[in-house]
């Protein structure tokens, strides 16, 4: 049995996920953690809208993926990009009728937990 042809399709399935409406910096985080979701772009979907809805059903309901993307986005891109990514993600999920397991605020808090900034400021003040 030859598995090589079947395995060669995996990168094609993953490369079809389009994150172009996200901030360029955030796209790196979205792509980095996408393979860990196990989500695939459905082959044979009747149109792009159906494929997006089916894929978002997987991504928008994956708390581990969203949490990882939020943390990566904050650490790599900063608070404003994290906020923008949260809004874009929730809007994308809503547009395809697949609400996210995270609210915008939960996504932001996952990337930059409340109190974290205060703790950092206190640590800087103690050092002086």
| DSSP 8-state symbol, 34 | G
Q: State residue 59's pLDDT score.
A: 93
26-73 residue pLDDT tens: 999 999 999 999 987 665 566 667 778 888 899 999 999 999 999 999
Q: State residue 5's pLDDT score.
A: 36
Q: Which residue is associated with the tokens 């650490």?
A: 75
CA 72 → CA 27, 62, 64, 111, distances in Å?
10, 16, 12, 7
Higher pLDDT, 50 or 80: 80
Q: For residue 109, with 0-12 CB atoms within 10 Å meaning exposed, 13-18 middle and 19 or more buried, which class applies?
A: middle
Higher pLDDT, 25 or 50: 25
């Amino acid at each position: 049995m030859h598995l090589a042809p079947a395995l060669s399709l995996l990168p094609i399935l993953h490369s079809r996920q389009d994150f172009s409406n996200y901030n360029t910096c955030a796209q790196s985080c979205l792509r980095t953690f996408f393979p860990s979701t196990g989500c695939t772009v459905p082959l044979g979907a009747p149109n792009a809208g159906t494929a997006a809805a089916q894929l978002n059903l997987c991504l928008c309901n994956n708390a581990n993926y969203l949490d990882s993307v939020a943390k990566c986005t904050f650490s790599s891109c900063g608070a404003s990009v994290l906020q923008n990514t949260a809004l874009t993600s929730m809007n994308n999920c809503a547009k395809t009728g697949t609400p996210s397991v995270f609210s915008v605020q939960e996504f932001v808090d996952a990337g930059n937990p409340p109190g974290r900034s205060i703790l950092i400021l206190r640590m800087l003040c103690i050092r002086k």
